[in-house]
A and B are shown apart, each in its own frame.
Chain A
Amino acid sequence: MTYDVVIVGAGVTGASIARELSRYRLKVLVLEKEAEPAFGVSKSNSGIIHAGTQNPPTSLKGWLCVEGNRLMREEIAPDLGLNFVQCGQLVVIFDEADRPGLEKIKKEGEELGVRGLKLVDRAWLDANEPELGPEVKAALLVPSAGIVSPYRYVYALIENAVKNGVELRTLAKVTAIARVQKGGFYVEASGRVYETRFLVNAAGLYADEISAMAGAPTFRITPRKGEEYLLDKKREHMARRIIFPMPTAESKGILVIKTSDGNPMIGPTASDTQDKEDLSTTDEGLAEVLRETRRLMPTVSKSDIIAYFSGLRPVSGKDFIVRCEESAPGLVNAAGIQSPGLTAAPAIAVMVAGILKERGLALAPKEQFHRLRRRPAHLFQVPLEETRRLIEKDPAYGDIVCRCELVSAQEVRDAIKRGARTLDGVKFRTRAQAGRCHGGFCTTRIMKIMQEELGLSALEITKRGPGSELIKDDRK
């Protein structure tokens, strides 16, 4: 059997491309090396839907970001039932000498088509963002920025793509790619070989290796590590918008971020590394994040921190790579997708579909494309009356598993039915284990529900896939 398109990588880029291609009468396969989608670069994303500012006006990522922001607000969020919140952002300056820089960001943003940009003074900030530090002099208000849960976004895309006929294989690491004489590729992943006419490379940190395997060693990915620290939900309202400092040459700086789950987040650091697996956090990173965010917001305290993690941005030069490769006909790379990749993803997907069409892939719309996805029920997002209605429909909504984040047994089962196979997969979908106790109370209960639903032994249950088993022996 030959696929029309094989997509390597089920992060936000690959999932967006899969969902976009699922509109058409195509045989599409997504190969993901991890146990679940979003377990690579995407899971550590901060969840910001950027407006498009802080990008050079001539850059590819700049206009993809502006278009992705529009698609998120107007189509993706309502269609897929995402909890997107358009909270807006501020880019603040600590020194009046930086005002021309702020005006440049405004001008460049306007050139890219970002709307509603406005310089605001200290008096406006005092009235609207009262916890900002005394050093802040002025800011650029960017109203079209917002936030979304990065992993629930990827799960929504993949679920909808699969509903529309896309195949997903997890724990399928691509180990070899060979050209087919008449055109196309053989792709070997975890011992199986798939034949495809077109190959889309959305392999994140490993996109350089995949491209080289397919015959196009045209770029290198350098991981740029970022440490992020999550604060207690009790600090949810300390900032009303996402707060940025002036960007540097390497990054948008260390920010105060709102998240769609309520917990504010501070970070990320930015340091280049050679190790594509290094997800450690450090004492130095924590000190830097605290120092920088306290200039923005002095009320941030170390004791507010409830969780932390590192992510690796897949960097290749200054811009995204979205192109076909002449040395490997049939290959389309979507690589070097660092910030603002989560925002740009829907626009990248449309662009990739366009490239595939140019290269001879017929995009015939399906008679029935299921555009809409039902939003999973989360007790933490609904008022009590809605909870009552859910429990009347299904008693297990009243059976609370995770006390810190109010997650019921029914939500855990629903997450597993929607594809969760690991404890992290349950956590990302439901928030169970993501609160103050970090699973101290609920882990064994969730493991037992997973045993029931998936028919696993306790020894087979993992945190995030093979090698991360929770227990070593079962003496029951």
Chain B
Amino acid sequence: MAAALAAREAGVSDVLLLERDQHLGGILNQCIHPGFGLHHFKEELTGPQYADRFARRVREDHGIEVSLCSFVVKLTKDRELSYLRPGALEEVKAGAVILATGCRERTREMIPIPGSRPAGVYPAGLAQKMVNMEGWIPGTEAVIVGSGDIGLIMARRMALEGVKVKAVVEIQKSSRGLVRNVVQCLEDFGIPLYFQHRIAMIRGRDRVERVDVVKVDDQFRDLPGSGFSIDCDTVLVSVGLIPENELLEMAGARLDPKANTPVAEKVNLTSIPGVFACGNACKVYDLVDWVTRDSELAGRMAADYLGAGARA
């Protein structure tokens, strides 16, 4: 939304905003905790409030056509797009394309955590969506894998809903999350955080029953005799984010194979002229405020590109 609005301000007359979900705002809608906008708006907002500030402006702007439930299935290097929406397969050609496709969560399978495959193992973001969007409480006793911000915030969120959060297990020596989140989400709730530990086994046939935890050394090797078990019915996995750049890959852009981010000289650029990537699809940010700042820049870069194209 920030890129669309910035492109409009920079003189682009006709913007099509494609959103695959049923509403604007993406993952912000499920982030009902405060802490958004301290830099951009100089006030503390929740995720939905932050998103709504942009959604209002987008809806009022008649130069932006919003198409929800619209899923792009094809993107070419010549900026031809095909997208599906309920009732139609649409094909458009754009002067410039900005990809603001965000991230997906790394999963249990990518670590990988061994054991059985019962119900009750969820990516932390899915659990957040269940609790905050649907009012569905996924379990009664939880262990959280990973101490990034999403894991920390979900530890607090589950605790607030009456779920007993028995541990946050982190394989590294320190948390990747913000210090304020370690304090506000774990310490204030008395939730133990185990550094240099990993889940060695998930147990339970139909639903999670227990996890085996083991301490590791600096080379991530198990320390013999350090293992213990925690009874729980839920495991939330919060082990990082991966930019969703499958469309860029389809168009033939160069991607860093490890980070799955576009390879280019500057932020927001890709190896294909006229195709930009912004926000968490470009690189994983700590704060939404910086996503907004760089996405607005992407909107202006696309406008510049179109201006240059028109002059040529």
Task: Please list the residues of chain A having a beta carbon within 8 angstroms of any beta carbon in chain B.
Answer: 277, 279-283, 285-286, 303, 305-309, 384, 387-388, 391, 395-400, 403-404, 406, 408-409, 436-441, 443-444, 458, 462-476
Contact = CB atoms under 8 A, between A and B. Distances in A.
A99 to B, nearest CB: 37
| Chain B interface helix/strand/loop/mixed | mixed
Interface string B117-156: 1110011011001100111111110000000000000000
B35 to A, nearest CB: 22
Interface stretch (B50-58, B80-88, B270-278, B279-287): B80-88
A160 to B, nearest CB: 29
Contact of A286 (B112, B126, B135, B206): B112
A437 B107 contact: yes
B140 A384 contact: no
A-B CB proximity, top 4 nearest: A467-B206, A395-B87, A476-B135, A463-B119
Given A306-B109, A471-B137, A281 B89 contact: no
Contacts of A309: 117
Contacts of A387: 73, 84, 89
B116 A279 contact: yes
Given A438-B109, A475-B135, A468 B115 contact: no
Contacts of A458: 134, 136
A452 to B, nearest CB: 14
Interface string B197-208: 000110101110
B26 to A, nearest CB: 11
Contacts of B133: 444
B105 interface: yes
Nearest to A230: B109
A116 B129 CA distance: 54
Nearest to B113: A281
A106 B117 CA distance: 39
Nearest to B91: A384
Given A444-B129, A458-B136, A468-B118, A438 B86 contact: no
7 contacts: A306-B109, A391-B87, A398-B87, A403-B20, A438-B108, A471-B136, A474-B136
Given A306-B110, A307-B109, A444 B84 contact: no
Contacts of B134: 444, 458, 476
A441 B26 CA distance: 11
Nearest to B208: A468
Given A283-B114, A305-B110, A388 B89 contact: yes
Contacts of B140: 472
B115 A470 contact: no
A308 B107 CA distance: 12
Given A400-B20, A437-B105, A473 B85 contact: no
Contact of B69 (A283, A399, A462, A474): A399
Interface size of B as a range: 35 or more
Contacts of B115: 280-281
B170 interface: no
A400 B86 CA distance: 8
Contacts of B117: 279, 309
A282 B222 CA distance: 14
B294 to A, nearest CB: 23
Contact of B114 (A280, A397, A406, A438): A280
Nearest to A467: B206
B296 interface: no
Contacts of B207: 467-469
A272 B266 CA distance: 56
Nearest to B137: A473
Given A308-B109, A438-B109, A439-B126, A398 B86 contact: yes
A423 B86 CA distance: 23
Contacts of A443: 122, 126
Interface string B86-103: 111100000000000000
Contacts of A463: 118-119, 206
A469 B133 CA distance: 19
Contacts of A399: 69, 84-86
Given A384-B89, A472-B137, A441 B130 contact: no
A384 B80 CA distance: 14
Given A280-B114, A467-B206, 18 more contacts: A279-B117, A282-B114, A285-B114, A306-B109, A400-B69, A403-B20, A408-B84, A439-B126, A440-B105, A443-B126, A444-B130, A458-B134, A464-B119, A464-B206, A468-B119, A469-B207, A470-B136, A473-B136
A441 B104 CA distance: 8
Contacts of A283: 114, 200
Contact of A462 (B84, B85, B105, B119): B119
A437 B104 CA distance: 6
B194 to A, nearest CB: 19
B293 interface: no
B305 interface: no
B157 to A, nearest CB: 13
Contacts of A444: 126, 129-130, 133-134, 136
